[in-house]
Amino acid sequence: MSGPVIVAVDGDAGALRDVERELRDRYARHYHVVCMRSPDEARAHLDDLAAAGEEVALVLAGTWLGGLAGSELLDETRHRHPQAKRALLIAWGDLGSPDTGEVIFDAVARGRIDHHVLRPSSSPDERFHQEISSLLLEWAETQRAAPNTVHVVSESWTGRAYELRELLGRCAMPHSFSLADSSAGRALIAEAGGRAEFPLVVFPDGTKLTNPSNADLARAAGSPVSPERMNFDLVIVGAGPAGLSAAVYGASEGFSTLVVDEGGLGGQATSSSLIRNYLGFAQGVTGRRLAQQAYDQAWVFGAKFAFMQRAIGLGHDHDGLYVALSDSGRVRARAVLLAMGATYRRLGVPALQALNGAGVFYGGLVSEAPAMAARDVYVLGGSNSAGQAALYLARSARRVTLVVRASSLEAGMSQYLVRQRTEIVGGGGDGWLEHLVLRDRADGSEETVSADGLFLMIGARPRTEWLPPEIVRDDQGFVLTGTDLHDDDARRHHRVPLLLETGMPGVLAAGDVRHGSVKRVASAVGEGSIAIHHLHSLLGAERLQSHGRSKEPLSQGPLGGGEATRDGPGRSAS
């Protein structure tokens, strides 16, 4: 073979000819392209490729292949080549058809296909190639063959090695893990000079670090760690969807903006294998890719970032608001946005907690899923993210069981993700998860089952323990804002608090950290943009109150009567 294989099957001879032309013209240099009309011939060829151990990157199938639905052939492909991407080829005339839409919706929901692709209609058809290239990039990332992949080598799956993998995942960085005694691990160690302390981290540019700190890892990856300046119009704590959205809108509208995060990009969104209901992404988008693109967008507009820095204090003194950072002291701000998101709740089973990173994972789906091929996997949780995880893992795992402790799935999960229920009360293994103990909540009976992987998605808690008492929270720690504030807390503002404003004037909260927020990526992004609308109101009121004083604003934004100015690669707002 001349590289990974792309297979296309379509009963329409003319359509197949167009598909083959486009695939060969664009991809034949790096991929072996095979096109055929018969589904039986395709099955036989895919079986031969599986027997020979050949890599299949992508399989395309027409909507109907004689008497067989293309989705059925693609579903069979999952068992032969679990890592291959699978897409249904549809005709231009099928776009907007309710019947075709229902077929695609059902096929994706059941894990039979990954995407749909419009057949090419011209040469070159760049829309066709955009979809194909995206699918090939997704495949490369699952194979740890994507550009700029960071490699981690260690003697154990657990401990610091797991922490580094988790951190790379939170930073939305493609990465792989190899045990030191594996063939891949030995090759990486040899490249490092033959001797290495563990964990060993190898970067695409050849940089090699041994047991690096989080800050060392961020610097080697080119991520900023310390603020370039100490005064800003807006300081955003948290680089999840809400924080990144606010950074994009704030920086684009001329506000000097700093985003601080103790980890990396994307928050909980980076653990989402596929966000299918986000506006504008008909094929879906991974949380990691969405975070990467949002970061690039905010950076271009001039937002500044400081990663691996914990916010440890928030207050107000005679100079205004400040955020205290773990390694850089106080950063001054005219307004602060709290967008820390939330973290997954822990199961509370010590034997399973000891296997964290060795078969037991809190989130981390995209980075850990490849290791689950042909294994028995369990997902604990009743939310949309748990259902998405089950569907994603089903592509490669031998068996996936969704475990739900609630009496019903309907309240927390979209209809197309509904599955089954019970609870996990124990488990263990020798260095890696080997079994779980399941309890039937109806009769209390217990069962021990074999398990190679457990992904826990059982609710979240906000990261608000560091906040001062003025930032009022509910019983679970989520921040109260706007009309949810009690009368005594609202009086501090000497005005009606803004919708997203907390009990401390000038401090806003958005996204999952906020009480009553809708736990959706689109909602978090929307609240981030609303926060910037509030920022205009806050700073406009500040200018009115300070009229006639000598104090100058930290920067001239759009409310200052002049063009936005900032250092860095910013652009004027459009």
282 and 383 inside one domain: no
pLDDT at 502 over 80: yes
Question: Structure tokens of 455?
Answer: 């992904």
pLDDT category at 78 given cuts 50, 70, 90 is confident
Provide the pLDDT confidence category of residue 408 given band limits of 50, 70 and 90. Answer: low
Query: How far apart (Å, rounded) are the C-alpha atoms in residues 85 and 436?
Result: 31
Query: What is the tens place of the pLDDT at every residue in 169-184?
Result: 766 677 888 888 888 8
Residue 137 forms part of a structural domain: yes
Q: Are 45 and 52 in contact (CB under 8 A)?
A: no
Same domain? For 360 and 380 the reply is yes
Tokens of 514: 């906020």
From 220, 239, 268, give the residue that closes a domain.
Answer: 220
CA proximity to 109, closest of 397, 419, 372: 419
- What's the total number of domains in the chain? 4
Residue 549 pLDDT exceeds 50: no
In a domain, 383, yes or no: yes
Please tell me whether residues 241 and 365 are part of one structural domain.
Answer: no
Please check whether residue 56 is in contact with residue 4, taking contact to mean a CB–CB distance below 8 angstroms.
yes
Identify whether residues 510 and 444 lie together within a single domain: no
The DSSP element (H or E) to which 289 belongs, if any, is: helix 287-301
Q: How confident is the model at residue 102 (pLDDT cuts 50, 70, 90)?
A: confident
DSSP secondary structure code for residue 271 in this structure: G
Q: How far apart are the first and last CA of the chain?
A: 50
Mean pLDDT of 41-47: 94
CA nearest to 233, candidates 481, 27, 534, 545: 534
Q: Are residues 332 and 441 in the same domain?
A: no
Residues 17 and 75 in one domain: yes
Element (H, E) at 259: strand 257-261
Of 411, 426, 458, the residue that ends a domain is 458
Full-model pTM: 0.70
pLDDT of residue 372: 80
What is the rounded CA–CA span in Å between residue 236 and residue 257? 7
Share of the chain above pLDDT 90, in %: 37
Range with the largest mean pLDDT of 45-49, 172-176, 350-354, 366-370:
45-49
Residue 564 located in a structural domain:
no
The answer to whether position 569 is within a domain reads no
108 in a structural domain: yes
What pLDDT is stored for residue 48 in this prediction? Answer: 94
Give dist(CA 48, CA 50) in Å, integer.
Answer: 5
Q: Tell me, yes or no, whether 386 and 405 share the same domain.
A: yes
Give the model's pLDDT for residue 231: 93
Summarize the confidence of residues 362-373 as an average pLDDT. 68
Residue 54: which residues within 8 A CB-CB, separation 6 or more?
A: 1, 4, 5
Provide the β-strand partners of residue 436.
427, 449
Give yes or no: residues 39 and 23 share one domain: yes
Residue for token pair 């500044």:
304
423-440 residue pLDDT tens: 899 999 876 889 999 998
Cα distances (angstroms) measured from residue 133 to each of 59, 117, 127, 442, 552: 13, 11, 10, 49, 50
CB atoms within 10 A of CB 326: 13
What is the Cβ-side half-sphere exposure of residue 209, based on CA atoms within 13 angstroms?
20
The domain containing residue 449 runs over which residues?
A: 350-458
Question: Would the pLDDT of 87 be above 50?
Answer: yes
Among the listed residues 4, 115, 120, the one whose alpha carbon sits nearest the alpha carbon of residue 70: 115
Decide if pLDDT at 501 tops 90.
Answer: yes
The average pLDDT across 391-409 equals 79
Average pLDDT value for residue range 271-285: 74
Reference 339, options 231, 267, 257, 269; nearest CA is 267
Residues 58 and 81 in one domain: yes
**pLDDT of res. 31:** 96
Partners of 314 in the β-ladder = 323
Domain assignment present for 380: yes
Q: Both 31 and 135 in a single domain?
A: yes
pLDDT digit string, tens, across residues 440-458:
888 889 999 999 999 888 8
Query: 235 and 208: one domain?
Result: no
The domain that contains 430 carries what CATH number?
A: 3.50.50.60
Using the CB atoms, write b or e for 34-45: b if 16+ within 10 Å: bbbbebeebbeb
Residue pLDDT, tens place only, 300-317: 999 999 888 889 999 998
Residue-level pLDDT at 277: 72
Query: What integer pLDDT is reported at residue 172 of this predicted model?
Result: 64
Least Cα distance to 437 among 359, 349, 353, 375 occurs for 349
Judge whether 188 lies within some domain.
yes
Q: Got the DSSP string for 336-400?
A: EEE---EEEPP---HHHHTTBTTTEEES-HHHHGGGGTTSEEEEE--SHHHHHHHHHHTTTSSEE
Amino acid (one-letter) located at 157: W
Task: Report the pLDDT averaged over residues 460-471.
Answer: 91
**Residue 191 sits in the same domain as residue 280:** no
For residue 533, the model assigns a pLDDT of 94
Give yes or no for a contact between 464 and 444, defined as CB atoms under 8 angstroms apart: no
Tokens 């995407």 belong to residue: 115
Any idea what the CATH number is for the domain that residue 212 is in?
A: 3.40.30.10
Domain boundary among 142, 177, 206: 142
- How would residue 365 be classed by pLDDT, with cut points 50, 70 and 90? low
Which of these, 111, 175, 208, 190, lies nearest to 371 by C-alpha position? Answer: 175
pLDDT of residue 558: 35
Is the separation of the CB atoms in 206 and 474 below 8 Å? no
Q: What kind and span of H or E run contains 39?
A: helix 39-52
- Answer yes or no: is 568 within a domain: no
Which pLDDT score is estimated for 64?
78
